[in-house]
């Protein structure tokens, strides 16, 4: 931050008009732990969006709805490792042996690069 502030001062002192600083959009990342109710247990969420009831990764209990939500987030995952960091899909005991193909297909259908 100090470097950015210094660069801003240099640009301003050289005569460049920087304009108003805009606010960044708020980014909310879901809690991945078991501290709250998970989507596959939330009946109200499942009744609104049935894909939250379809478990894709059984070891980590990651649903299709969670993967879809990650794909349309403000910063979507570009590869399977990024998707795993956001949802924990393929990071369970089987290390993706059972769910890797389906998670990869969901990522490819959403336009992600592998």
For residue 74, the model assigns a pLDDT of 87
Confidence class for position 23, pLDDT limits 50, 70, 90: confident
Is 14 domain-assigned?
A: no
Whether 43 is in a domain gets the answer yes
Partners of residue 63 on adjacent β-strands: 55
Task: Look at residue 114 in the predicted model and tell me its pLDDT.
Answer: 45
Q: What is the average pLDDT across 18-39?
A: 77
> How does DSSP classify residue 26?
P
Q: What is the DSSP string of 29-60?
A: PPP-SSSS--GGG-HHHHHH-GGGG-EEETTT
- pTM comes to 0.68
CB 73 within 8 A of CB 51: no
Query: Looking at residue 101, what is its pLDDT?
Result: 93
pLDDT at residue 82 greater than cutoff 50: yes
The CATH number given to whatever domain includes residue 72 is: 1.10.10
Q: What total number of domains does the chain contain?
A: 1
pLDDT in tens, 88-114: 999 999 999 999 999 999 988 876 544
CA distance 111 to 100: 17
Residue 91 inside a domain? The answer is yes
Residue of 12, 102, 3, 113 lying closest to 58 (CA atoms): 102
Q: Which range of residues forms the domain containing residue 77?
A: 37-114
């Amino acid at each position: 931050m100090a470097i950015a502030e210094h660069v801003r001062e240099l640009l301003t002192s050289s005569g460049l008009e920087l304009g108003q600083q805009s606010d960044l959009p708020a980014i909310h990342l879901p809690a991945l732990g078991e501290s709250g109710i998970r989507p596959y247990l939330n009946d109200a969420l499942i009744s609104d969006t049935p894909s939250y009831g379809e478990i894709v990764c059984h070891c980590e209990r990651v649903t299709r709805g969670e993967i879809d939500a990650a794909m349309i987030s403000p910063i979507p995952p570009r590869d399977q490792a990024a998707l795993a960091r956001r949802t924990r899909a393929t990071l369970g005991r089987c290390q993706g042996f059972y769910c890797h193909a389906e998670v990869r297909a969901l990522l490819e259908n959403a336009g992600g690069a592998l």
